[in-house]
């Protein structure tokens, strides 16, 4: 499922939160019964696909001695074909991408949450940093480029990278992670010599640019169900989760090592009934005095609040109103991420 975000910040926020939910939704939707104790002792397809497209060389898997690994070096391959790569192309995410307000190096993200090995292409990383891309996003994109492209389309080899993103998409689209962050393609001006549509003639308007796709986040872990009703139910369910996340400023962050452990548990037969998964104890900002409906509609009312762990009432009402209106979400998120307790429950 791909979700349209209102801007780049919202797309990155949804990516992080949905990545934590991916293993749980995989277990909840597990629908590959042929594996269920017959072909293998699992009932979900994820790891089977992961293994089937795993094109890492032995040197990249860390299966060779240091001497043999250096002998296997090939300058025509990404990382000379010997860079250690912990995961298959088709796997859970390896790094969070939402940025940190007031913490340019995103130190907390890397110290507490990005706690697994995530190799990057240093050249791509340095290029992104020089162009002003923040630490988390630069790390994510540079991680995509540790692998070689495995697809090439006729007529799309020699391209101008300042006019098209096809070369990037060749890398991006062959990194099949549990979530995928999808930046928009270039905007192309409409050829004004072409005939206007009927609607444009009636309205007397003509858009300068074609309809723009915008910033998107793809949620990839759920399995197809046997009936249309079940598929529709899960589609609506995960859509509602994204609306709740955005409306109530929720944060599901846990260390990525715990996300990977959840992914392993999600493959166990009947995991949704027999397994426990790591999840945050605290997913909302510190307690907020919501006040009455009248106060929410009129956020200028001031009330004293002696709770040091809460916003004052005026701030609370503004926050709730802005969230419900879908405005200033990214600002609220960045402000509250630094205050989430770190406790995790299994």
- Looking at the fold, whether 144 and 38 belong to one and the same domain comes out as yes
179 and 88 co-located in one domain:
yes
Model confidence at 48: pLDDT above 80 = yes
In a domain, 249, yes or no: yes
151 and 300 fall within a common domain: no
Query: 285, 300, 316 — which closes off a domain?
Result: 285
- Do residues 234 and 334 share a domain? no
Q: Do residues 43 and 130 share a domain?
A: yes
pLDDT digits (tens, 9 = 90+) for 30-46: 999 888 778 898 999 99
The pLDDT value recorded for residue 185 is: 85
Is residue 345 very low, low, confident or very high in pLDDT (cuts 50, 70, 90)?
low
Co-location of 177 and 303 in the same domain = no
Give the pLDDT score at 107: 81
- Confirm if 43 and 269 have CB atoms less than 8 A apart: yes
Residue 192 falls within a domain, yes or no?
no
Q: What is the CA radius of gyration of the chain?
A: 23
The answer to whether residues 104 and 157 belong to one domain is yes
Say which residue, 157 or 124, is predicted with more confidence: 124
Tally of domains within the chain = 2
Is there a single domain that holds both residue 46 and residue 182?
A: yes
321 touches 301 (CB < 8 A): no
Indicate whether 54 belongs to any domain. Answer: yes
Q: Is residue 191 part of a domain?
A: no
What pLDDT, in 10s, does the model give residues 125-165? 999 999 999 999 999 999 999 999 888 888 888 888 888 88
Question: Do 167 and 104 share a structural domain?
Answer: yes
Structural domain of 324: 286-341
Q: How many residues does the chain have?
A: 346
CA neighbours closer than 13 Å in the CB half-sphere of residue 107: 3
Same domain, 149 and 56: yes
How high does pLDDT run on average in the chain?
A: 81
Res 335: pLDDT: 44
Given a contact cutoff of 8 angstroms between Cβ atoms, the answer to whether 341 and 255 are in contact is: no
Give the model confidence (pLDDT) of 137-146 as tens digits: 999 999 999 9
CA dihedral for 219, 50, 112, 124, sign (positive or negative): negative
pLDDT at 299 over 80: no
Instruction: Please state which of the ranges 60-69, 195-204, 274-283 shows the lowest mean pLDDT.
Output: 195-204
Region 195-222: mean pLDDT is 67
Q: Are residues 106 and 243 in the same domain?
A: yes
The pLDDT value given to residue 258: 97
296 and 256, same structural domain? no
Please tell me whether the overall predicted TM-score, pTM, comes out greater than 0.75 for this model: yes
- Confirm whether 346 is domain-assigned: no
């Amino acid at each position: 499922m791909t979700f349209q975000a209102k801007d780049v910040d919202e797309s990155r926020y949804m990516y992080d939160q949905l990545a934590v939910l991916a293993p749980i939704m995989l277990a909840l939707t597990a629908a590959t019964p042929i594996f269920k104790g017959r072909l293998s002792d699992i009932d979900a397809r994820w790891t089977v696909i992961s293994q089937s497209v795993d094109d890492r060389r032995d040197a990249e898997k860390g299966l060779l001695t240091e001497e043999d690994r250096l002998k296997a070096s090939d300058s025509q391959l990404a990382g000379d074909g010997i860079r250690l790569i912990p995961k298959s192309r088709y796997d859970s995410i390896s790094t969070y991408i939402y940025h940190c307000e007031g913490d340019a190096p995103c130190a907390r993200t890397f110290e507490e949450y990005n706690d697994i090995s995530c190799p990057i292409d240093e050249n791509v990383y340095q290029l992104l940093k020089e162009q002003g891309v923040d630490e988390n996003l630069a790390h994510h994109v540079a991680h995509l480029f540790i692998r070689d492209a495995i697809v090439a389309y006729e007529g799309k080899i020699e391209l101008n990278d300042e006019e098209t993103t096809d070369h990037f998409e060749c890398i991006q689209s062959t990194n099949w992670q549990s979530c995928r962050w999808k930046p928009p393609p270039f905007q192309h001006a409409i050829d004004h010599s072409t005939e206007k549509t009927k609607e444009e003639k009636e309205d007397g308007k003509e858009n300068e640019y074609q309809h723009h796709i915008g910033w998107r986040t793809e949620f990839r872990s759920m399995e197809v169900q046997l009936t249309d009703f079940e598929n529709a139910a899960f589609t609506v369910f995960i859509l509602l989760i994204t609306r709740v996340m955005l409306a109530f400023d929720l944060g599901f962050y846990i260390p990525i090592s715990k996300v990977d452990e959840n992914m392993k548990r999600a493959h166990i037969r009947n995991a949704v009934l027999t397994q426990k998964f790591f999840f945050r104890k605290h997913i909302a900002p510190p307690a907020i005095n919501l006040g009455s409906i009248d106060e929410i509609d009129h956020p200028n009312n001031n009330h004293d609040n002696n709770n040091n762990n809460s916003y004052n009432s005026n701030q609370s009402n503004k926050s709730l109103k802005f969230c419900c209106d879908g405005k200033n979400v990214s600002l609220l998120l960045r402000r509250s991420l630094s205050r989430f307790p770190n406790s995790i429950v299994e």
